[in-house]
Amino acid sequence: MRGADTVTVFRVLLVLFVAFLVLYRIFPFFAVLTLGIAIALDGVDGFVALKEASNGKITLRQYFEHASGKKRSAYIDRIKQNISKKAPWGPRFDVAGDRVTEYVMWILFLFVGILPFFVMIIIIIRHSFADAMMGLRGTSSKEASWLSRTFYKSNWSRASINVLKFLTFGYLILAYVLSYPMVIAYALIALCVGFIVLRGVAEVYDSFAMMNVKEAVR
């Protein structure tokens, strides 16, 4: 197993541990901290994969500068392409880790009775269609419409959704264990789910737009 895949497995285990703490209503702030680490690790597996593939030549600073768009590196792009050829399951494994992390948390709060059922339905529908389209096009596809580049593939969008998920799930932990006001929880759920749906729409639109272009070329 690659180091990047190990990171993905580790963050899934962390989320399962968080679910255990919440179910037993113990150490809520530690649960929030652990959740934050698990979500932050979502960006670590990419760096680990690049570092392994480059034999340690790519530094953390280079990775962040490239990821943020501050200083793009053709060398890192070539390494990414080589990784996609040698380990095509890598991006899909990472997406699977993302989905497990998110589903565990949504289902957890549905189970304890503080998440409306319709929210879970929205999440399932969104991910089902978006992931189906992603599977058709490939996770490493460079083709993108303006909508996808803005709300799905952009660095600000990826960072924003991770922050929103952390704030939403973290607050829900405190709302359930320590009885924090639910009105704030519902506001965070609305923002988080709304942005998740927007990103899903961008991905689905992108897939159909690119398929129509290919059909027109034929």
For the chain, the straight-line distance linking the first and the last C-alpha, in angstroms and rounded, comes to: 40
- Distance in angstroms (rounded) separating the CA atoms of residues 113 and 175: 11
- Distance in angstroms (rounded) separating the CA atoms of residues 193 and 204: 16
Cβ-based neighbour number of residue 81 at 10 Å: 12
| Contact yes or no for 206/193 (Cβ under 8 A) | no
pLDDT tens string 34-81: 999 999 998 787 788 778 778 878 877 877 767 666 677 777 778 777
pLDDT at 87: 66
Indicate the domain borders of the chain: 3-217
**pLDDT by residue, tens only, the chain of 218 residues:** 677 788 899 999 999 999 999 999 999 999 999 999 999 998 787 788 778 778 878 877 877 767 666 677 777 778 777 776 776 666 778 888 999 999 999 999 999 999 999 999 999 999 999 888 876 665 555 556 777 777 777 778 888 999 999 999 999 999 999 999 999 999 999 999 999 999 999 888 877 766 655 555 45
Q: Which amino acid does the sequence have at 52?
A: E
pLDDT at 203: 84
Handedness of CA 15, 17, 20, 24 (dihedral sign): negative
pLDDT at 194: 97
Here the tokens at position 103 are 């589903």
Spatial CB neighbours of 39, under 8 Å, sequence gap ≥ 6: 11, 101, 162, 165, 166
By CB neighbour count within 10 A (0-12 exposed, 13-18 middle, 19+ buried), where does 154 fall?
middle
What Rg, from alpha-carbon coordinates, does the chain have?
18
- Distance in angstroms (rounded) separating the CA atoms of residues 162 and 39: 7
